[in-house]
Amino acid sequence: MKFKGINHLALVTGDMNATIRFWRDLLGLRLISGFGEAGFRHYFFEIDGKASLSFFEWDGAQPVERKLHGRPVCGPIAFDHVAFALDSADAIWTLKDRLEAAGFPCSDLIDHGSFHAVYSFDPNGIAIEFCCEAEGQDIQHETALHDADPSPAALEGPEPQPSKWPAVTKPTPATERQAKAGDSSGFFQKWAGR
């Protein structure tokens, strides 16, 4: 099994118009798909021809409280920030200037060693990062673990360790491999009943 990348990241907004104005008009991501009904929308913005960013618009959804990128918090949390790769530091500076001109504060350009990044927030309070590899760095092919106290699992190396999980003993028969019409609500109802 080989992953091809992220298809889409699904986030939430209470204001689709502001979200479209930011992601499409300010940052330049094409609006490629959208559907909805009363009280619900789901729109997709193209990132790179393969991956997209999507937003659900729900009545009553409110922007999240802004949290600094990477800053630890207590209590339930599932998400810190989303990072977008750009071609160069010049592209990051151009984007930083556009964001600031539109009233969205940005961090300085931060040198993280293997990459450089600028941090900001979208209109929904979602923490976003724009980064590029530092010159001479290629962490996709030259892995680096700079941790004074690494996780024991990380010490096993960069390659997948499939033997750590049970083997599949009941594969889905080919005759049952069919896509079903509808949304995923049946899955969520089944899951909620657990």
pTM for the full predicted model: 0.73
CATH architecture of 1-62: Roll (3.10)
Q: 63-136: same fold as 1-62?
A: yes
* C-alpha to C-alpha distance for 99 and 69, rounded to whole angstroms: 17
Given a cut of 90, whether residue 23 has pLDDT beyond it is yes
Residue scoring higher pLDDT (99 or 147)? 99
Q: What is the mean pLDDT of residues 82-102?
A: 94
DSSP per-residue letters across 72-106: ---S------EEEE-S-HHHHHHHHHHHHHTT---
Backbone dihedral region for residue 46 (phi beyond 0: left; psi -120 to 50: alpha; all else: beta): beta
Q: What is the mean pLDDT of residues 125-154?
A: 75
Question: DSSP E strands: which ranges in the chain?
Answer: 8-13, 31-37, 40-46, 52-58, 82-85, 110-111, 115-121, 127-133
* C-alpha to C-alpha distance for 129 and 82, rounded to whole angstroms: 6
Domain ranges in the chain? 1-62, 63-136
* C-alpha to C-alpha distance for 48 and 119, rounded to whole angstroms: 20
Residue 125: per-residue pLDDT:
92
What mean pLDDT, rounded, does the chain reach?
A: 84
* C-alpha to C-alpha distance for 116 and 86, rounded to whole angstroms: 10
Query: For 63-136, which CATH superfamily applies?
Result: 2,3-Dihydroxybiphenyl 1,2-Dioxygenase, domain 1 (3.10.180.10)
Residue 187: per-residue pLDDT:
56
Given a cut of 90, whether residue 130 has pLDDT beyond it is yes
